[in-house]
Amino acid sequence: MSDIKEHCGLFGVYGCEDAAERVYYGLYSLQHRGEESAGIASTNGKDIVFYKGMGLVSEVIKPHMFKILKNPIAIGHVRYSTIGSSNIGNAQPLVVDYYKGKVAVAHNGQLTNAKRLREEFEANGSIFHTTSDTEVIVHLMAKPLNMMQKNLSLVLQQLRGAFSLLFLTPEEMVGVRDPHGFRPLSIGRLNDGYVMASETCALDQVGAEYIRDINPGEAVYVGKDGIRSEYYCPQKQIKPAFCVFELVYFSRPDSKIYGESVHLFRKRLGARLAKESPVEADVVISVPEGGNSAAIGYSHTSGIPFDRGFIRNHYVGRTFTLPEQERRHRIVELKLNALKETVDGKRVIVIDDSIVRGTTSRSRFGLLRKAGAKEIHVRISCPPHRYPCYYGIDFQQKGELLAANRSLEEIRQYLNVESLCYLSVEGMMSCATQPRQYFCNACFTNNYPTPIEEETKKLTERKVDGEVEKLLKL
């Protein structure tokens, strides 16, 4: 198997004549969750048709394809890889034909026992066609004992790690979250049908009314007889561990996930950051788009005026979700330009949502220096990333994390700024309205909510790219 990867966006529609077109617009709203590939699968109740390809939603799905995909039930997926290579074979939804008929599967997350399960299947003669951990799920579905079941419970009980899933069969659409609920998945109502989405902003896009989140350990089946719910694991195994980095970085500010308004959560992060790390300055600016909400909160609490310090080129995608480190580094200066009128001769506080690898941050702050900033004070609205994520976010090699083996002062010198402060773990967790124990913050604390198999750790270990190593060397 290649590198383990998977942080993606899911969207599904049941009971609308133009379901595939609705999925298309829903995926548009989730494009920030993955720019490598996109796909849509739909059914007329008898067969499943699909189309997927490499690139953005608008590049993959063209208007003439809606004639082929036009059916009352459809699911879609946008992907950036965390397990599996970036190629068309790993694009989703994954559509297979097995004993019970056709099924399409779309996955957001990462299975921590995928390698072991795959090796067991291969030892018994199974053939895999992709390097994605998602394919393990359909092999489990095809096992004789599992095929005898009317639901997915036996299959889901064998999965470990992070998985929010959408299944599509000719008869129904199914939404699933793992017992910890690492990744979000919501249900909405659209006329007489239903919608499932990774973020509520996608529900808004198609005019759906938010109903609720699918709960950890829950599978929701939508079919001709309506909607039904079941919990596929014992209640004692359901232990919420919502990914806090979804709120800090990944999700759109206009979404509501885990019961939290993303925008308001980030404003609270900024306000807390201003209290923890005050500094005398003339202006507060943000690194768009992720730092915007936190910068507003910092400005309001500190009393220092907020202004635009960077202008973003919207025709360049997110650098963090791109798979190649070299490409991330080269794109950064195309993505942003410093606004000289705001920063020239000023003491500038720069609010960013995170510093993971550090290469793009160093380039951004260099732009401010070129534009005449007198002082640059960096404030990060989350704690330092010191540990890998094994639940579906693409920082799985500790050697790539800037803060893993470096002091705060070493990082400050590397970034070439006057001061640097991160938000504390306690400060970050205090900004959530739900209990602290409901969140996973393992990438900051090393407190993983599930056991990580040694084979999974080994699978994600690789030598740091030569250019990254050079850039991170202090």
Strands annotated E in 55-124: 73-80, 94-98, 101-111
Mean of the per-residue pLDDT values for the chain?
A: 89
* Exposure of 139 in the CB half-sphere (CA atoms within 13 A): 23
Task: Return the structure tokens found at 194.
Answer: 């239903």
Q: What is the pLDDT of residues 317-366, one digit of tens each?
A: 554 455 555 555 556 667 889 999 999 999 999 999 999 888 789 889 99
Q: Which of 73-87, 180-194, 222-236, 347-361 has the lowest mean pLDDT?
A: 73-87
Residue 421 confidence class, pLDDT cut points 50, 70, 90: very high
AA letter at 170: P
Give the model's pLDDT for residue 370: 95
* Exposure of 270 in the CB half-sphere (CA atoms within 13 A): 31
CB within 8 A of 466, min separation 6: which ones? none
Q: What is the pLDDT of residues 176-204, one digit of tens each?
A: 999 999 999 999 999 999 999 999 999 99
Task: Return the structure tokens found at 91.
Answer: 């694009």
Give the model's pLDDT for residue 313: 80
What's the Cα-to-Cα distance from 449 to each of 174, 259, 439, rounded to whole Å?
A: 26, 20, 9
Residue 474 confidence class, pLDDT cut points 50, 70, 90: very low
CB within 8 A of 455, min separation 6: which ones? 115, 116
Give the model's pLDDT for residue 330: 58
Evaluate whether residue 248 is within a structural domain: no
Residue 162's H or E segment, with its range, is: strand 161-168
What letter does residue 403 receive in the DSSP assignment? T
Give the model's pLDDT for residue 180: 98
CB within 8 A of 32, min separation 6: which ones? 9, 250, 252, 318, 321
Same structural domain, 230 and 268:
no
Same structural domain, 205 and 326:
no
The strand pairing partners of 331, in sequence order, are: none
Which of 239, 272, 302 terminates a domain? The answer is 239
Evaluate whether residue 138 is within a structural domain: yes
Question: Is the pLDDT at 6 greater than 50, yes or no?
Answer: no
Evaluate whether residue 325 is within a structural domain: yes
| Higher-pLDDT residue of 95, 464 | 95
Same structural domain, 29 and 172:
yes
For residue 56, the enclosing domain spans 7-239
Evaluate whether residue 446 is within a structural domain: no
The strand pairing partners of 86, in sequence order, are: none
Question: ∠ at Cα 141 (139, 142), nearest 5°?
Answer: 65
Same structural domain, 338 and 208:
no
Token match 């459809």: residue? 74
- Average pLDDT of the residues in 164-184: 97
Question: Is the pLDDT at 41 greater than 90, yes or no?
Answer: yes
Give the model's pLDDT for residue 455: 65
Same structural domain, 229 and 146:
yes
Same structural domain, 285 and 170:
no
**Taking each helix axis from N to C terminus, what angle separates 359-370 and 325-335, rounded to the nearest 10 degrees?**
20
Q: What is the pLDDT of residues 269-323, one digit of tens each?
A: 999 999 999 999 999 999 998 899 999 999 999 999 999 999 988 776 554 455 5
Evaluate whether residue 111 is within a structural domain: yes
Q: Which of 133-137, 206-210, 262-266 has the lowest mean pLDDT?
A: 133-137
Which of 239, 254, 289 terminates a domain? The answer is 239
Instruction: Note if 201 is an active site residue.
Output: no
Same structural domain, 17 and 72:
yes
Same structural domain, 175 and 311:
no
Question: Is the pLDDT at 465 greater than 60, yes or no?
Answer: no
Residue 381's H or E segment, with its range, is: none
Contact (Cβ atoms closer than 8 angstroms) between residue 94 and residue 104: yes
CA proximity to 304, closest of 353, 350, 337, 341: 350
Indicate the number of domains in the chain. 2
Same structural domain, 232 and 273:
no
Evaluate whether residue 451 is within a structural domain: no
Contact (Cβ atoms closer than 8 angstroms) between residue 6 and residue 391: no
CATH number of the domain where residue 87 is located = 3.60.20.10
Evaluate whether residue 172 is within a structural domain: yes
Same structural domain, 188 and 311:
no
Contact (Cβ atoms closer than 8 angstroms) between residue 417 and residue 380: no
What's the Cα-to-Cα distance from 470 to each of 84, 466, 467, rounded to whole Å?
A: 26, 6, 5
Give the model's pLDDT for residue 411: 96
Same structural domain, 274 and 226:
no
Same structural domain, 33 and 107:
yes
CA proximity to 392, closest of 168, 238, 288, 242: 242
Q: What is the pLDDT of residues 443-461, one digit of tens each?
A: 999 999 998 877 666 655 5
- Average pLDDT of the residues in 220-245: 96
What is the Cα–Cα distance from 177 to 396, expressed in whole angstroms?
22
Task: Return the structure tokens found at 431.
Answer: 């900004």
What is the Cα–Cα distance from 457 to 387, expressed in whole angstroms?
12
Q: Quickly count: other Cβ atoms within 10 Å of residue 44's Cβ.
A: 12
Contact (Cβ atoms closer than 8 angstroms) between residue 188 and residue 209: yes
Give the model's pLDDT for residue 2: 31
Task: Return the structure tokens found at 217.
Answer: 């350990």
Give the model's pLDDT for residue 416: 95
pTM to 2 decimals?
0.89
**In angstroms, how far is CA 461 from the centroid of its own chain?**
21
Report strand pairing: 218-223 vs 186-190. unpaired
Hey, which of 3-12, 245-254, 396-405 has the most confident mean pLDDT?
A: 245-254
Give the model's pLDDT for residue 327: 55
Residue 85 confidence class, pLDDT cut points 50, 70, 90: low
CATH number of the domain where residue 324 is located = 3.40.50.2020
Evaluate whether residue 450 is within a structural domain: no
What is the Cα–Cα distance from 289 to 310, expressed in whole angstroms?
10
Residue 129 confidence class, pLDDT cut points 50, 70, 90: confident
Q: Annotated catalytic residue: which of 8, 201, 243, 431? A: 8
Contact (Cβ atoms closer than 8 angstroms) between residue 444 and residue 426: no
What is the Cα–Cα distance from 112 to 183, expressed in whole angstroms?
14
